[in-house]
A and B are shown apart, each in its own frame.
Chain A
Amino acid sequence: RKEVEQDPGPFNVPEGATVAFNCTYSNSASQSFFWYRQDCRKEPKLLMSVYSSGNEDGRFTAQLNRASQYISLLIRDSKLSDSATYLCVVNMADNDMRFGAGTRLTVKP
């Protein structure tokens, strides 16, 4: 089993749609969790941290389920500019950060 697994997609959705990505992780002792966004041929950029109680930033909502060892990202009212690859990142232990392979999203007009 991979340490961090994501559905690679691609997800093709129309503008305005709601889309959700899931990510599972293998190490139950993992300490912190993040979602990064990566545009084609660019570096990853931090989208949001994921807190135990769940958190929201505008159209983006992140959830953590420690019991089932997964995190999710929900994007509401998708914009064309949301098209990118979304990387799930898990901090296994003291800065041992593991990235998923990413989920590609394309938002179409």
Chain B
Amino acid sequence: DTGVSQDPRHKITKRGQNVTFRCDPISEHNRLYWYRQTLGQGPEFLTYFQNEAQLEKSRLLSDRFSAERPKGSFSTLEIQRTEQGDSAMYLCASSPVALNEQYFGPGTRLTVT
């Protein structure tokens, strides 16, 4: 399977704990995006990378959130001191630099109890 993959698919954590998610984009795609989606809403943009450079961060991304793409391949999204409001589906997408079409991974569903 050469699509976007995400790990884990589901994560249940207690409030206050830190969590980290991983995304592996399609191999030849330079751009990688993170989104958050809650029930009944479309995906909300969080941040994006071109290769290893983080080019944009949403105002939604508080100081508790950090993302990395150290070698321009896979990316991690970390949430520190999780809150119940962080419960959502976290989606990763990738695209080739010449096109704007994005291809999504299956998402990581986070539940904060």
Contacts and interface: CB of A to CB of B under 8 A. Distances in A.
Interface stretch (A44-52, A58-66, A69-77): A44-52
A105 interface: no
B101 A99 contact: no
Contacts, number: 46
A43 B102 contact: no
Contacts of A8: 40
Given A43-B106, A87-B42, A102-B42, A96 B100 contact: no
A91 interface: yes
Interface string A70-109: 0000000000000000010001000111111110000000
A34 B40 contact: no
Contacts of A97: 33, 45, 100, 102
Given A32-B100, A100-B42, 19 more contacts: A4-B42, A31-B100, A42-B106, A43-B104, A43-B105, A43-B107, A49-B101, A91-B100, A95-B33, A95-B56, A96-B56, A97-B33, A97-B102, A98-B45, A99-B35, A99-B42, A99-B43, A101-B41, A102-B42
Contacts of A99: 35, 42-44
